[in-house]
């Protein structure tokens, strides 16, 4: 049976991988029941591509993490976590670019004196993300939250952070625990890769890694993906997007045209540089669901059906 890999979005530092695994699997089961697809008799192997605390430390430091450090990931060393998270400390300018892109999408102009920041770029990105959230109308900021803006901007700004997150997730998938050991094979089993929000960017970037080229990926699911944004694409660290179609048999993108995180865009040749992605905007909401939540996206009929078929065929 295929190996499911979940890659989450931002602001998950309070959750253990087991929490994410249990909740996402329950959403899948709920969707299969809702759409009358039946049950999976033998649950598959599941790996959570967990990076939440590394990203949190890169944004805000480790003071809070000393109390909530995830004991399911004992390899974390608090003394070195921030250094490991950043890798490269210099700014690329992409973080500010991403915040400007979101501001422009809402018809907002960020003040130049706040954009042309000096000094500690991480601290300024956090400040600017919070400033932008305060400028957004309430119906927008409840999904385009301060934590999303801050963490996405810091991720886009530092290649070393992106490399560290990608390596960490590849270690979790491959089962390699030694950070010095090369990863020659991502998985011997077919991978069903299911990603949400910033996790869609991280998952796509990982699939472009030469190590992943030999992996068998029958299905790649992106939920609420901001991959159409210019500065998210810059964070892929590839020069020519038209030559970077990943080695997947089927790619399904579930999006909501009113989701401000995606700016309402689907993933098409116009927005991402190549065709072949099946886009569906059939997300259905229940009481309490927000536009960008993973639950309604993962329960969308097309995602639910594709994952069910990949597990049962």
pLDDT interval class at 282 (50, 70, 90): confident
At which residue do the structure tokens 């709920």 appear? Answer: 30
**How far separated are the first and last CA of the chain, in Å rounded?**
9
Per-residue pLDDT, 116:
47
Tokens encoding 49: 């591509």
Per-residue pLDDT tens for 219-234?
999 999 999 999 999 9
Phi, psi dihedrals of residue 280, rounded to the nearest 5°: -135, 135
Per-residue pLDDT tens for 53-92?
888 888 887 666 655 555 555 455 555 554 444 444 556 7
Write the CATH number of the domain with boundaries 3-86+162-312: 3.40.50
Tokens encoding 122: 């991480």
Nearest C-alpha neighbor of 201 from the set 186, 216, 223: 223
Distance separating alpha carbons of residues 124 and 120, to the nearest angstrom: 6
The DSSP secondary structure of 105-162, one letter per residue, reads HTT----HHHHS--S-HHHHHHHHHHHHHHHS-HHHHTTS-HHHHHHHHHHHH-HHHH
Spatial contact of 4 and 42, defined as CB atoms under 8 Å apart: no
Nearest C-alpha neighbor of 253 from the set 244, 238, 264: 264
Q: pTM of the prediction?
A: 0.90
Nearest C-alpha neighbor of 177 from the set 83, 73, 70: 73
Per-residue pLDDT, 66:
55
Number of Cβ within 10 Å of residue 290's Cβ equals 12
Helix (H, G, I), strand (E, B) or coil at 220: strand
Return all residues near 93 (Cβ < 8 A) that are at least 6 apart.
157
pLDDT interval class at 112 (50, 70, 90): low
């Amino acid at each position: 049976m295929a190996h499911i890999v979940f890659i989450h979005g931002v602001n998950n530092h309070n959750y253990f991988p087991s929490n994410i695994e249990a909740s996402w699997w329950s959403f899948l089961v709920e969707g299969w029941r809702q759409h009358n697809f039946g049950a999976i008799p033998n649950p598959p192997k599941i790996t959570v591509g967990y990076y939440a605390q590394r990203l949190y430390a890169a944004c805000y430091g480790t003071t809070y993490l000393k109390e909530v450090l995830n004991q399911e990931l004992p390899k974390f060393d608090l003394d070195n976590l921030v250094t490991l998270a950043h890798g490269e400390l210099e700014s690329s300018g992409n973080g500010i670019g991403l915040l400007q892109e979101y501001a422009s999408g809402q018809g907002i102009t960020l003040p130049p004196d706040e954009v042309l920041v000096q000094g500690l770029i991480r601290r300024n990105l956090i400040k600017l993300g919070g400033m932008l959230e305060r400028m957004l109308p309430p119906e927008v900021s409840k999904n385009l939250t301060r934590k999303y803006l801050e963490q996405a901007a810091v991720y886009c700004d530092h290649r070393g952070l992106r490399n560290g997150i990608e390596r960490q997730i590849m270690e979790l998938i491959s089962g390699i625990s030694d950070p010095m050991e090369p990863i020659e094979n991502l998985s011997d089993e077919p991978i069903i890769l299911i990603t949400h929000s910033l996790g869609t960017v991280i998952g796509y970037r990982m699939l472009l890694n030469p190590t992943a080229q030999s992996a068998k990926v029958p299905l790649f699911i992106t939920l609420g993906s901001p991959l159409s944004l210019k500065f998210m694409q810059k964070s892929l660290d590839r020069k020519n997007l038209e030559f970077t179609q990943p080695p997947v048999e089927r790619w399904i993108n579930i999006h909501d045209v009113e989701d401000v995180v995606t700016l309402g865009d689907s993933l098409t040749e116009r927005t991402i540089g190549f065709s072949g992605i099946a886009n569906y905007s059939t997300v259905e909401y229940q009481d309490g669901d927000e536009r960008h939540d993973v639950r309604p996206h993962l329960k969308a009929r097309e995602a639910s059906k594709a994952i069910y078929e990949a597990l049962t065929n």
